[in-house]
Structure 1
């Protein structure tokens, strides 16, 4: 069974705060898929999650050209950007599945590029553009208590 929470963000800071709130609920081995268009705020959301684990938000950037950034905090945070991938095999070659089932938290931008590799119990976060520079953030939990 799943549960859903919707947040309306009016600023970058509120998007970061929404990520921080989700961070409070994450545990080792959790995978979060971040769905949204270019410029929706996925990386800002990751900054919030990372800050919950003691990582300075300004150190977080999109790993568009490197595929993954690893951040050391109270829990490791693994930030994937799969935008440039052509095939799931490319993610397998860098050991993506080992990250998914490891001791840290994985956050995946452009998860549709590696859909078949993402664990079924991944948390889904949709970030949608809204009028007046707002964002609608919808967090889909697999666990209804979340």
Structure 2
């Protein structure tokens, strides 16, 4: 089971702020030079795909970013690092992930963003970061949790970037 050592709570006032948060995460991932697995949790319509769009755009993707609800994974292999956006909402059984070679995606410097990770329980590797999005007024609350040393480092840096005394 996941052992979370600390949490960071943020308020994202609108869609632009959610996408901006994704861009900030992308900037940190690019600097790190190692792979990262991020679980994106939250109900339908809470901004998981918006956050993913921000990450992909922050990594340099100019095209559309859609949720891979029917394809399960959308590859962005042209980016640095290569990124993969998973949506497991329609997954019937976690074993289906084995048939698609899921373990190959978690190699090297790859960034893997996974929506609905609970549907892949028992097959998915441990996450470096968990981001839980919930509707909060007109915006979204984001709870960022980490257990790995890589996740904790990124979480701390995200917190510093979004502290109340920071401009922007």
TM-score > 0.5 by shorter chain: yes
Does the Cα contact within 8 Å between 1:7 and 1:18 map onto a contact in 2?
A: no
Structure of greater relative contact order (alpha carbons < 8 Å, 6+ residues apart): 1
Please list every run of 5 or more consecutive structure 1 residues that lacks an aligned counterpart in the other structure.
none
Query: Where do 1:25-104 residues align within 5 Å?
Result: 25-26=28-29, 27-56=33-62, 58-71=63-76, 72-104=78-110
Deviation at 1:84, TM superposition (A): 0.5
1:15-49 CA distance string (max 9 Å, x none): 00111112223244210000000000000000111
Greater than 6 Å deviation, 4+ residue runs: none
The structure whose Rg is larger is 2
Equivalent-residue separation in structure 2 for 1:55 and 1:4 (angstroms): 29
Equivalent-residue separation in structure 1 for 2:118 and 2:15 (angstroms): 24
Partner residue in 2 for 1:9? 12
Equivalent-residue separation in structure 2 for 1:90 and 1:122 (angstroms): 23
Please list every run of 5 or more consecutive structure 2 residues that lacks an aligned counterpart in the other structure.
155-168
Partner residue in 2 for 1:114? 120
- The secondary structure found in structure 1 opposite 2:95 is helix
TM-score relative to the length of structure 1: 0.90
Q: Between 114-123 and 84-93, report the one with greater CA deviation.
A: 114-123
Equivalent-residue separation in structure 1 for 2:131 and 2:139 (angstroms): 16
Equivalent-residue separation in structure 2 for 1:61 and 1:49 (angstroms): 12
Equivalent-residue separation in structure 1 for 2:126 and 2:25 (angstroms): 18
Equivalent-residue separation in structure 2 for 1:105 and 1:37 (angstroms): 22
Task: Give the total of aligned pairs.
Answer: 144
